[in-house]
C-alpha cells in the first residue's frame, strides 16, 4: 500500500466515528519495515467521556500495546486531520518516524509555523507531510460541522 491508500483507510475508519456523533478523525500506524498496520482508531471523546481520546492518542496506545514498547521507532502515523499540540507531543514522545496528515487545521493544528512544537531542539522530530488526500479529508469534516450547526439551529 502507498500513502494514499493508508490515508484512505484512515478516512474510512474516521467515518465510523459518525455513528457516535464524534468528530470524524481517523488515525492508523504502520510498521515501515513490513507495512503491517499496528493500529487503526477514530476519535472517541464522547463515547469514552474523555477530552484526550483523540484518534492519534488511541492509535499510539494500541500500537505500543501491540509491540509491548513505549517507542514506535520505524513507524508512520496517518491522520485525517493535522494533529493538535497534545497529539503532536505524543507522536514525538512515541518516536514515530513519519507523520502524514490529510486536511490542515488552521485553528488547532500544531505543525504550522506559529504553533510549531518542534522549535525546541530537545524534542524528537518526525518527518512531517501534510495535505495527503486533503480534499477528501477536509470534506468529511466540513460536512460534519455543517450538519452539526444545522442540527443545533433547530
One DSSP character per residue, 118-153 reads GGSTTS---EEE--TTHHHHHHHHHHHHHHHHHHHH
Domains of the chain: 6-143 (3.40.140.10)
Q: What is the DSSP-derived secondary structure letter of residue 116?
A: -
Q: What is the total residue count of the chain?
A: 154
Catalytic residues: 56
Encode the chain (154 residues) as per-residue pLDDT tens digits: 899 999 999 999 999 999 999 999 999 999 999 999 999 999 999 999 999 999 999 999 999 999 999 999 999 999 999 999 999 999 999 999 999 999 999 888 888 765 566 666 667 889 999 999 999 999 999 999 988 888 888 7
| CB environment 121-130: b (16+ within 10 A), e (fewer) | eeeeebebeb
Amino acid at each position: 500500500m502507498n500513502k494514499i491508500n493508508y490515508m484512505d483507510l484512515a478516512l474510512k475508519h474516521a467515518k465510523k466515528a459518525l455513528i457516535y456523533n464524534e468528530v470524524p478523525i481517523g488515525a492508523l500506524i504502520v510498521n515501515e519495515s513490513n507495512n503491517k498496520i499496528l493500529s487503526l482508531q477514530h476519535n472517541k471523546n464522547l463515547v469514552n467521556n474523555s477530552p484526550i481520546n483523540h484518534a492519534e492518542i488511541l492509535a499510539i496506545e494500541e500500537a505500543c500495546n501491540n509491540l509491548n514498547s513505549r517507542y514506535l521507532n520505524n513507524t508512520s502515523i496517518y491522520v485525517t486531520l493535522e494533529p493538535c499540540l497534545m497529539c503532536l507531543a505524543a507522536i514525538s514522545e512515541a518516536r514515530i518516524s513519519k507523520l502524514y496528515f490529510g486536511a490542515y487545521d488552521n485553528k488547532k493544528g500544531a505543525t504550522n509555523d506559529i504553533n510549531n512544537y518542534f522549535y525546541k531542539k530537545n524534542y524528537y522530530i518526525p518527518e512531517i507531510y501534510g495535505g495527503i488526500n486533503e480534499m477528501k479529508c477536509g470534506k468529511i469534516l466540513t460536512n460534519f460541522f455543517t450538519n452539526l450547526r444545522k442540527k443545533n439551529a433547530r
